[in-house]
Amino acid sequence: MVDSPIERGRAWIEIDLDALSHNIADIRSKAPRDSEIMAIVKANAYGHGLDKIAERMVQEGINTFGVATINEGIQLRQSAPTGDILVFGRVHIDDVKLLSKYRLSQLVVDGAHAKFLSKCGHQLDVHIAIDTGMHRLGLDPSNFDEIESIFSYSNLSVKGLLTHFASADSFDDDDISFTHTQIKRFYTVVSKLKEKGYDVGKLHAQSSYAIYNYPELKCDYIRPGIMLYGVHSQSDDTKITTNLRPVLSLRANIAQVKWIGIGESVSYSRIYTSDKPSKIATVCIGYADGVPRQMSGSGAVAIVKGQKVPIVGRICMDLLMLDVTDVGHVEAGDVITIIGKDGDSEIRCEDVAAISGTITNDVLTGLASRLPRIYV
Ligand SMILES: *Cc1c(COP(=O)(O)O)cnc(C)c1O
């Protein structure tokens, strides 16, 4: 057996599973009536660790999931032995048998895809993607015959119909009207199929921002991803208000503390130079752990002993430096916080994303697999 070093030895992620339970309850209380949660747990449950997150979701009564890859689906089967698992990503021909073996559903994106799946000869559950304007995956509503053709394969069982919105987070008039066009296109396909007697299965369209901003939509499933984890992607401005709690914190240990004089530089490329004698703490976390390198020189902060302090100089692969001159006693082994709370201070994942020019989904899914996930 391989020895495993202690989890809080360097840098780590803390996961608050009770916050997840709280978020599930909060989402359920505000979701449209009769709609069930299809929990989106792709990319290792947005970096939170698939196994433990799924286990808690199952305990909370969630039994429908969305993942991006077949590997995620197979892994999730261990924690959700009976739930419905929809694989959004296209599966290789040699792996179609695994969809069947693990009872995973596949998203079908067009007529050719359905034909290819059917030819593999396995009995499969599928959901049909309708491209109402996102122009990513799915069938054009105007190709109704092609959509209809998917119902003709005896070994493909259609369990659902979905679409995805391009701008559900926006309050721009143009974007709102675009989303309404997408909604209309989707329900037109739905009615046409129903008129012809097809069982379309479960309808689903809303990811987090559509749950926030288009709560009036009547769907069987909602598809929250980022909101389950208690953070906004970017905008805090939403039509329905939720009371979500962040599930994840990111922390690390200090490796060394040193004093530098006036005019001395810190880290690569010397983008930071001290204007006073400064106490510098070098911390065991870097961009290889998923701390965005773009935070360098941007005014980003970390928390040390409940106090916010600046990150100084370029963030390195495995290390970064803080100016801790104004903090009392600091020594190697002290814990610092990059995302989360310490004392009265908090750094939200939204803050880290904004300063890095991206969204929280990107920050969270970018957290490295080498970080231990600790469940508290
Ligand atoms: C990722 C994804 C979601 C979840 O999106 P969030 O914005 O994180 O809620 C929902 N549906 C589909 C098809 C997705 O790919």
Closest of 233, 235, 237, 234 to residue 224, by C-alpha: 233
Q: Which residues approach ligand 1 with their CB closer than 6 A?
A: 40, 42, 88, 164, 207-208, 223-227, 233, 361
At residue 25, the 3 state secondary structure works out as helix
Closest of 26, 42, 67 to residue 361, by C-alpha: 42
Closest of 147, 55, 58, 160 to residue 106, by C-alpha: 160
d(CA 330, CA 348): 23
Query: Among 27, 85, 207, 226, which is best to mutate for testing ligand 1, by the most ligand atoms less than 8 A from CB?
Result: 207
Low pLDDT (below 50) residues in the chain = none
> What is the DSSP code (8-state) at residue 318?
S
In the residue annotation, 52 being an active-site residue is answered as no
d(CA 174, CA 44): 35
Phi first, then psi, for residue 200 (nearest 5°) are: -85, -5
In the residue annotation, 42 being an active-site residue is answered as yes
Instruction: Single out the catalytic residue among 184, 218, 268, 276.
Output: 268
Q: How far is the CA of 251 from the centre of ligand 1 (A)?
A: 27
* Cβ-proximal residues to 90 (8 Å cutoff; 6+ apart), any chain: 109, 113
Using alpha carbons, list the distances in angstroms from residue 2 to 5, 370, 375: 10, 15, 22
d(CA 286, CA 148): 51
Instruction: Single out the catalytic residue among 42, 212, 221, 272.
Output: 42
Residue nearest to atom 10 of ligand 1 (CA): 207
Residues linked to residue 105 through DSSP beta bridges, in sequence order: 86
| Confidence (pLDDT) at 359 | 98
Residue nearest to atom 11 of ligand 1 (CA): 207
Q: How far is the CA of 313 from the centre of ligand 1 (A)?
A: 35
Phi first, then psi, for residue 310 (nearest 5°) are: -75, 145
Q: For residue 276, how many other CB atoms are within 10 A of its CB?
A: 10
DSSP letter string over 184-250? HHHHHHHHHHHHTT----EEE---HHHHHH-TT---SEE--SGGGGT--SS----SS-------EEE
pTM above 0.85, yes or no: yes
For residues 69-100, one letter each, b for 16 or more C-beta atoms within 10 angstroms of the residue's C-beta and e for the rest, the string is bbebbbbbbebbeebbbbbbbbbeeebbebbb
